[in-house]
Every structure is written in structure tokens, then in C-alpha cells.
């Protein structure tokens, strides 16, 4: 986490699998346990705003999260399908 102001956080990370997308929902996981939901406001790769980040790429992101984000936390991005 680079900086935090109230519940907005600026963080950096690397996509380990799948994609990170500003259009999908996300959740904060800590040691395999769900901590809270996360809203991804923006994402950047090489200081360029992007809508998605592919696997293997490092990124910066601005997120809204009610909990403090800690080193080692995982942000899981997912889609919901309504049947």
C-alpha cells in the first residue's frame, strides 16, 4: 500500500492468474479468509490508465476498501452470474 486516505487506498501488485478489471467486483482475502468487498476505481500499468491488467503484469490501483490493506493480502476479482 502506497497511501491511504479514509477508505481509499493506492496500492501496487502483480496479477498472478486471470485478469484484474475495473469493471468486475472484487474482495479482499487475508490468509484465505474473506475480509471485505473492494471497489477498484482505477488501474495503471506503466503509468497508463487501463481497464484491465493481464496475468504476469504489475499494476497500481486505487481502491475503496473499508478495512486496512496489509502486505500479503490478496484482491480476488470475480464476476457474478445471475441465473
The DSSP bridge partners found for residue 77 are 26
Note the pTM of the prediction, 2 decimals: 0.83
pLDDT reported for residue 45: 96
Mean pLDDT by 10 residues, the chain (83 residues): 83 94 93 96 95 96 92 91 79
Q: CA dihedral in degrees (60, 64, 70, 71; nearest 10)? A: -10
* Cell (9 digits) for 56: 504476469
Amino acid at each position: 500500500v502506497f497511501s491511504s486516505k479514509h477508505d481509499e487506498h493506492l496500492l501496487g501488485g502483480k496479477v498472478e492468474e486471470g485478469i484484474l478489471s475495473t469493471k468486475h467486483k472484487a474482495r479482499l482475502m487475508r490468509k484465505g479468509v474473506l475480509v471485505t468487498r473492494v471497489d477498484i476505481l482505477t488501474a495503471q500499468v506503466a503509468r497508463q490508465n487501463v481497464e484491465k491488467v493481464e496475468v504476469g503484469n504489475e499494476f497500481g490501483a486505487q481502491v475503496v476498501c473499508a478495512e486496512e490493506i496489509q502486505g500479503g493480502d490478496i484482491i480476488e476479482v470475480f464476476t457474478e452470474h445471475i441465473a
